[in-house]
Amino acid sequence: MSLSSSFPLILVTNDDGIQSPGLHALAEGLRPLGDVVVVAPDRERSAVGHALTLHAPLRAEHLRDGWVAVDGTPTDCVNLGIHGLLERRPDLVVSGINRGGNMGDDITYSGTVAAAMEATLMGVPAFAISLVEGPFPLEAFFPSVRVAARVAEMILEHGIPGDTFLNVNVPRDCGNEVVFTRQGKRCYNEVVVENVDPRGRKYYWIGGGELGFEDEAGTDFHAVMRGHVSISPLHLDLTNYRALGQLSGWDLGDLFPGD
Ligand code: MN
């Protein structure tokens, strides 16, 4: 890939696959800000989380200038993009625009968010962006593209706090207001459907239940439900610092008596 070095280099990926209209709209919308290279999964890989392919080779197919399809996860795409496919280190990684919100506890499943995590691990500023509600024709992504372009501009101009990436969620009918939020909480009442396949074997299918969120002020869900763009700064340190203090009172006794 031949790229001029005068422009920032922006790596774009997603988890809905390289055919997704949200990815195409995003790549197009970021083009005025830099050299955009798309490295994305060759098929839908939603809900793969932060999976990295270690026990199989990965193939990268150059579809056209600046567009590469990888038969791996979003995390593979970022890893391979930064370490193998790009001529220089990107200045920014943008993941999305996902079909459907990535808020609250859901972000632990999200391939979209994991791609931004991976970039953060490699020391590259990143954000994930999701359109909360469908239907998802190409035009539905245009407001999110504007948001993405502004957030990208801000990061390229001002940088981002260390070890931090942004999780952006855009409601379907979004107004002008942008709210900085914390990660909300899901109400889990998910249903597992049990059924029998045509050969008489039992199968299970996760999902199908109506899922809700706790409608707490200050959260991603709360903002989006009110038509605001939500931006949550996230980091990879999963330590629960409050619990750390509480656990210091634990006495596990003499684990290896006689040593
Ligand atoms: Mn997805």
Is residue 156 within a helix (H) or strand (E), and if so which, with residue range? Answer: helix 142-158
Q: Is 28 exposed, middle or buried (0-12, 13-18, 19+ CB in 10 A)?
A: middle
Q: Indicate the pTM of the whole model.
A: 0.93
Query: What are the residue ranges in the chain where pLDDT is below 70?
Result: 1-6, 208-210
Q: What is the pLDDT of residue 206?
A: 87
Instruction: Give the distance (Å) from ligand 1 centre to CA of residue 47.
Output: 7
Instruction: Give the distance (Å) from ligand 1 centre to CA of residue 17.
Output: 8
Is residue 117 within a helix (H) or strand (E), and if so which, with residue range? Answer: helix 111-121
Instruction: Give the distance (Å) from ligand 1 centre to CA of residue 166.
Output: 17
Amino acid identity for residue 241 in this structure: Y
Ion ligand 1 residue ranges (Cβ < 5 Å): 15-16, 46, 98
Instruction: Give the distance (Å) from ligand 1 centre to CA of residue 146.
Output: 20
Q: What is the pLDDT of residue 191?
A: 83
Render pLDDT for 219-240 as a digit per residue (tens, 0 to 9): 999 999 999 999 999 999 999 9
Respond yes or no on whether the N-terminal peptide bond of residue 135 is cis (omega within 30° of 0): yes
Instruction: Give the distance (Å) from ligand 1 centre to CA of residue 107.
Output: 11
Q: What is the pLDDT of residue 208?
A: 67
Cβ neighbours of residue 22 closer than 8 Å, sequence gap 6 or more? 14, 16, 96, 97, 98, 99, 131, 136, 141, 144
Q: What is the pLDDT of residue 53?
A: 96
Instruction: Give the distance (Å) from ligand 1 centre to CA of residue 204.
Output: 22
Q: What is the pLDDT of residue 158?
A: 97
The SS3 of residue 94 is: strand
Place of tokens 């006689």: 258
